[in-house]
Amino acid sequence: MPSQTEERLLTVREAAEYLRVTPETVRRRVRSGDIPACKLGQRAVRIRRADLDNIIAPATDLEAHIAGVVAAAPPLSPEQRDRLAMLFRPAGGVTA
């Protein structure tokens, strides 16, 4: 039986279930370095649950982060506003 200082390592599938994403998303994030992982042999990958917890931000922290980013952003120029309006305009000029 593992001691309290030892932590069970998760498979890619278990990590995906924990994060509620697909295993391919976990593999992609491991390859990009977003999720720390250790490779056992040629194919087996294991991930610590604590590392997964570190990448999951509570909603309140995320909302505060977004509010800070928006507050620090410079105002849009008229050209930028026009471009954004054009991007979000419905196709074919049809409005709902």
CA angle 30, 16, 7 (to 5 degrees): 80
The pLDDT value given to residue 3 = 54
Q: Report if residue 96 sits inside a domain.
A: no
User: Nearest CA to 44 among 21, 70, 10, 74?
Assistant: 10
Q: Report if residue 24 sits inside a domain.
A: yes
Q: Report if residue 77 sits inside a domain.
A: yes
Q: pTM (2 decimals)?
A: 0.55
Q: Report if residue 2 sits inside a domain.
A: no
3-state secondary structure of 17: helix
Would you say 28 and 19 are in contact if contact means Cβ atoms under 8 Å apart?
Answer: no
Q: Report if residue 95 sits inside a domain.
A: no
- The DSSP call for residue 41 is T
Q: Report if residue 76 sits inside a domain.
A: yes
Q: Report if residue 34 sits inside a domain.
A: yes
The yes-or-no verdict on residue 28 having pLDDT over 90 is yes
Would you say 65 and 57 are in contact if contact means Cβ atoms under 8 Å apart?
Answer: yes
The number of folded domains in the chain is 1
Which pLDDT tens digit goes with each residue over 60-87? Answer: 778 888 888 888 989 999 999 999 999 9
Q: Report if residue 23 sits inside a domain.
A: yes
The pLDDT value given to residue 91 = 76
For residue 74, what are the domain limits?
9-90
Which pLDDT tens digit goes with each residue over 43-60? Answer: 899 999 999 988 886 667
